[in-house]
Structure 1
Amino acid sequence: METISETNANSHCKEHVHFSAEQLKDHNLEIHVKQQEGHIDVHLGFLQIHHHYSVSFSIKDSLGQEVSFDERENLHVQIQKATASDDGEGHDIVLNFNAHREKLMNEVIHIQSKDQEKRVKMLIHARVLGKGKGTPALKNGIKCYKVDTDEDSDTHSDWQGF
């Protein structure tokens, strides 16, 4: 990694970080899914506060073709769709994720077999960047579909000043 300084006409310094091609090659933009029996950890990486994301990923499970889930189980994560994968060894999951607060978010959701005999717990992990902390590179399968207005900003204030 190398840092390059530029000076503009106003004599303000701006620093840019440049990564070598080899460092970029090692950077993985895939959603990390770690599986154990009955428990799945899904790591979404960095997201931005007050943003809503559609997240698509695949899991391996033994729940059978048809599964069920409670759409109201979690206020900030809702499974939209869980369809059997083409290889028959798991499911393709589509969920909505609301990055409602800064720092590390860990949200729990469950899916179960249609007969409710088998159940899988999914723990969704995301690091949420606050306002002014940068714009994250989204991993493959993650798309922002909505941005909430920041209620704390000056544009939403009715204060006229002095």
Structure 2
Amino acid sequence: FAAESKGSKIASVRFSEEPPAAGAPSHVHFDEKLHDSVVMVIPEDDGNFSVKVGFLKTQHRYEIVFTLPEVPALGKHVCPAPVPGPHLRITDIAPAPEGEVITCEYVTQQEGVLCEEVLLLSETNEAVCVRVKVHARVMDRHHGTPMLLEGVRCIGPELEYDSEQSDWQGFD
């Protein structure tokens, strides 16, 4: 079985030809190319960026780290927009030889193919703004655990409010 993604990475899975002996575990062999699965940063024609972070699970908090290529118009002093979105926020921006290392925190609320965005601003030129769209495939929390890409770390589950577990008696 072979699959090709838009990032033109090719991955394959090889199954053993022989059936396993009774009681022996079966094995699936993955190509080495799967082990270098990293968050993909894709420049867009308008100067903004798309970041593909792979599969995540609903009701969880993730740390996402990626390197944004240098944007000369932003200059050396880059900061996040003052008002972050409700689910995705930048927690750190650090200079790197090839651009900026961006660290975000993302709280997944619903399943599906989702796109959240953050804005990067120049501290020296207020007219410059770069939009970074983070794309994730979010699966229901009851459907297993996704294999996270390099650069994505699960911080932990988000507590959800369940009214049936509340001990509040209501108004008299």
- Which residue of structure 1 aligns with residue 149 of structure 2? 139
Once the 2 structures are TM-superposed, how far is the Cα of residue 2 of structure 1 from its aligned partner? 3.6
Correspondence 1:42 to 2:51: yes
- Which residue of structure 2 aligns with residue 121 of structure 1? 131
Q: Indicate if the aligned counterparts of 1:66 and 1:83 stay in contact, CA closer than 8 A.
A: no
> Which residues in structure 2 correspond to 1:36-115 (within 5 Å)?
36=44, 37-60=46-69, 61-62=71-72, 63-85=74-96, 87=97, 89-114=98-123, 115=125
**Can you list the C-alpha shifts for 1:109-138, whole angstroms capped at 9, x where unaligned?**
110111223211100000111032110011
Count of aligned pairs: 146
**Can you list the C-alpha shifts for 1:54-84, whole angstroms capped at 9, x where unaligned?**
1111011221111122253311000011122
- Which residue of structure 2 aligns with residue 19 of structure 1? 28
Cα RMSD after superposing both structures: 2.9
- Which residue of structure 1 aligns with residue 10 of structure 2? none
> Which residues in structure 2 correspond to 1:143-154 (within 5 Å)?
143-151=153-161
Q: Indicate if the aligned counterparts of 1:38 and 1:119 stay in contact, CA closer than 8 A.
A: no
Give the aligned residue type for 1:136: P
C-alpha separation in 2, matches of 1:112 and 1:79: 12
SS of 1:26 mapped into structure 2: helix
Q: CA, structure 1 residues 18+127, in 2 after alignment: closer, same or farther (shift >3 Å)? A: farther
TM-score computed with the length of structure 1 as normaliser: 0.77
Structure 2, unaligned runs of 5 or more: 1-13, 168-172
Structure 1, unaligned runs of 5 or more: 9-15
